[in-house]
Amino acid sequence: MRHVGAIAGRELRSIFSTPVAYVMFSVYLVFSGFAFFLSLTGFLSALQQIQAFQRFDLLEQFNLNTSVIEPSLGIFSFVFLLLIPLLTMRAFAEEQATGTIELLLTSPLTIWEIVLGKYLAILVVIGMLVGLSALYPALLFYYGDPELLPTLAGLMGLFLYGAAFAAIGCLISSLTRSQISAALVTFFAGMILYLIDYFAELSLQGTSQQVVRYLGLRVHFDELVSGVVKTDDLVYFAVVVVFFVSGVRAATESLRWR
C-alpha cells in the first residue's frame, strides 16, 4: 500500500493541471453562493413578516440550521450531481484510452494500490468542495448562533454522499475508454439514485416503498443533513463505497483479460 500516496499525488496534480478542475470549482462557488444567498434572504423575509404581524409564537419554528443550512446543503448536493461525473470521468477511462494503464499494470504495483490511489485523489477534491461549502455556515457562526453539531453532521453527509457517488463514477469510468460516455452514464446513475426517492413515494407503498427509498442516496443524505447521525445511514454509505470500489478493482484487473 506504500504506492497509494504516489499515485494519489500524481492524480491530484493531473486534476489541477487541466481547466476542468477550475471550471468545476468556479461553477460550484457560483451555484452554492447563490443557493446560500436565497436561503438566507428567505429566512430574513420570514423573520420580517413575523415582526410585521407580531406572531412571535412562530419564532421557535425558525432557526439558522433548519431554515438556512439544511436547504443550502440540499442544493449543494444537487450541484454535486452535476460536478462529480466531471471529476470521475477521466479517472480510469483516460488511462485506458492513452495506454498509460499498461505502465501501471506492468509496474510493481498491486491493483488495490492503483484503485485506492486514484479514489483517494478524488476524495481529496470532494473534501475541498465540502471545505468550500463550510465557508457559508462559517459566516452564520460569525454573525449568528446556529448549532455546531448538526452543521458538522450535514457537512459530513455532503462528503459521504459525494464519496459514494464518486465510487459509482469510478466504476463507470473503469468500464470504458470514453470519458464522455463515462460522464453521461455517471450523471444518469446519479439522477436515478437521487430521484428514486420521489418515485418510490409516488408509486409504491408499504415495504417495497421503504426498500426502494433505502436504496437511494437521498434518504440517507437528508437524515445526516437534518443533524441525525444514525448507524444505518453510515453503514449505507460505507457499503456503497466498498461495493463500487471493489467493482473498480475487478474491472481494472479484467483489463488484463480484455
If binding is defined by CB under 8 A, does position 256 make contact with other proteins? Answer: yes
Cα 239 from Cα 169, distance rounded (Å): 15
If binding is defined by CB under 8 A, does position 18 make contact with other proteins? Answer: yes
Going by C-alpha positions, the residue among 11, 169, 176, 168 that lies closest to residue 93 is 176
With residue 227 as reference, give the H or E element that holds it. none
Pair 137, 211: CB distance under 8 Å: no
Nearest distance, CB of residue 14 and other proteins, angstroms: 6
If binding is defined by CB under 8 A, does position 108 make contact with other proteins? Answer: yes
Interface stretch with other proteins, choices 98-106, 132-140, 162-170, 208-216 (CB under 8 A)? 98-106
If binding is defined by CB under 8 A, does position 21 make contact with other proteins? Answer: no
Nearer to other proteins, 7 or 193 (CB): 7
DSSP state letters, 137-154: HHHHHHHS---HHHHHHH
Return the DSSP state at 60.
G
Nearer to other proteins, 102 or 201 (CB): 102
If binding is defined by CB under 8 A, does position 254 make contact with other proteins? Answer: no
Nearest distance, CB of residue 97 and other proteins, angstroms: 11
* Angstrom distances, CA of residue 169 to CA of 56, 94, 99, 117, 184: 48, 13, 20, 15, 10
- The torsion of the CA quartet 15, 79, 250, 20, rounded to 10 degrees, works out to -20
Cα 157 from Cα 229, distance rounded (Å): 9
Going by C-alpha positions, the residue among 209, 185, 208 that lies closest to residue 198 is 209
Position among 45, 48, 98, 203 found at the interface with other proteins (CB under 8 A): 98
Can you tell me whether residue 255 is helix, strand or coil? coil
Position among 6, 23, 192, 211 found at the interface with other proteins (CB under 8 A): 6
Position among 102, 127, 139, 144 found at the interface with other proteins (CB under 8 A): 102
Position among 54, 106, 205, 207 found at the interface with other proteins (CB under 8 A): 106
Position among 59, 103, 135, 191 found at the interface with other proteins (CB under 8 A): 103
Nearer to other proteins, 109 or 229 (CB): 109
Nearest distance, CB of residue 119 and other proteins, angstroms: 16
Position among 12, 87, 104, 240 found at the interface with other proteins (CB under 8 A): 104
Cell of 132: 468550500
Residues 6+ apart with CB under 8 A from 199: 212
Beta strands in 57-175 (DSSP E): none
Nearer to other proteins, 5 or 42 (CB): 5
If binding is defined by CB under 8 A, does position 111 make contact with other proteins? Answer: no
If binding is defined by CB under 8 A, does position 14 make contact with other proteins? Answer: yes
If binding is defined by CB under 8 A, does position 201 make contact with other proteins? Answer: no
Q: What are the backbone angles phi and psi of residue 133, rounded to the nearest 5°?
A: -60, -30
Binding positions for other proteins, rule: CB under 8 A: 3, 6-7, 10, 13-14, 17-18, 98-110, 256-257
